[in-house]
Amino acid sequence: MELSGLFTGDERKRKEREMREAGRLPAGQSLTLKWPVLHYGSVPHFDSSKWSFFVRGLVKQPQSLDWTACKALPRVEEQSDFHCVTRWSRFDNHWRGISTRSVLDLASPLPETTHVLVHGEQGYTANLPLADFTADHVLFATHHEGQPLTEEHGGPLRLIVPHLYAWKSVKWVRGIELLDQDVPGFWEQNGYHIHGDPFREQRFSE
Ligand SMILES: Nc1nc2c(c(=O)[nH]1)N[C@H]1C(S)=C(S)[C@@H](COP(=O)(O)O)O[C@H]1N2
Ligand SMILES: [Mo]
């Protein structure tokens, strides 16, 4: 055993090198072993009696689901990496939650749907192509490492889109809107890239 491996700083550097060599560390990112809390505005308090989740826009059957209905949807588990545009990456997060496809299916999307605008509390939004929203490893998470998501990390429900910068992983998600065009969300209106692929360093709009 390497003596230097006993020190956390060296452990972080060792893992960072390992992820870089494996092609999992996007350019300009550094690995964190912690889990920073990052968001705009304050942490909303969850009240299950008032909470609801909508599916609206280009759908045959608009939905309004209460917390009980949401929890009854098919459960999925995923392990994935998380890349924030402020240059930290957190690897091998274990998530449990609800599949985005099962939420979509409830509402029967119309064939002209090409994009999804994801709505969080307090007017936060993020846009993504339908194909990114339904991609493998994308989910609405309720749990992280076996524990219910804390309020500061987006509990009770947040989107996780591991293959895009983490501003797309909307915390305190309250609904989705199906669209036939790409409508910029909160950060996308404020200079960030419309798509946000960390492996192409799509940080800012041109
Ligand atoms: N509702 C909402 N979701 C949000 C944000 C936000 O400001 N509001 N910030 C995003 C950004 S920039 C990041 S990096 C992640 C951070 O998630 P974490 O605090 O659980 O690490 O949440 C994303 N989701
Ligand atoms: Mo971020």
Q: pTM of this prediction?
A: 0.96
Would the pLDDT of 4 be above 60?
no
Q: Is the CB of 203 under 6 A from ligand 1?
A: no
Q: What is the dihedral of CA 150, 194, 180, 155, to 10 degrees?
A: 0
Position 192 scores a pLDDT of 98
CA of 158 to the centre of ligand 1 (A): 9
The answer to whether residue 10 is domain-embedded is no
The answer to whether residue 18 is domain-embedded is no
The sign of the dihedral angle between the CA atoms of 27, 127, 120, 72 is negative
Closest CA to 90 of 139, 143, 146, 33: 33
> Which residue has the least CA distance to atom 20 on ligand 1?
153
The answer to whether residue 151 is domain-embedded is yes
pLDDT-based confidence at residue 6 (cuts at 50, 70, 90): low
The answer to whether residue 85 is domain-embedded is no
Q: Is the CB of 84 under 6 A from ligand 1?
A: yes
Question: Residues 6 or more apart from 183 whose CB is under 8 A from it?
Answer: 115, 117, 127
- Please state, rounded to an integer, the average pLDDT across all residues of the chain: 96
Residue 123 belongs to domain spanning: 44-80+92-200
The answer to whether residue 170 is domain-embedded is yes
| CATH number (domain holding residue 154) | 3.90.420.10
Ligand 1 atom with least separation from CA of 121: 1
The answer to whether residue 3 is domain-embedded is no
- At residue 75, φ and ψ (nearest 5 deg) are -90, 145
> Which residue has the least CA distance to atom 1 on ligand 1?
171
For 85-128, write each residue's pLDDT tens digit.
999 999 999 999 999 999 999 999 999 999 999 999 999 999 99
The sign of the dihedral angle between the CA atoms of 34, 40, 46, 52 is negative
For 29-59, write each residue's pLDDT tens digit.
999 999 999 999 999 999 999 999 999 999 9
SS3 content of the chain, % helix, strand, coil (to 5): 25, 30, 45
CA of 37 to the centre of ligand 2 (A): 9
CA of 199 to the centre of ligand 1 (A): 19
Q: How many domains does the chain have?
A: 1
The answer to whether residue 66 is domain-embedded is yes
The sign of the dihedral angle between the CA atoms of 136, 142, 148, 153 is positive
The answer to whether residue 74 is domain-embedded is yes
Q: Is the CB of 36 under 6 A from ligand 1?
A: yes
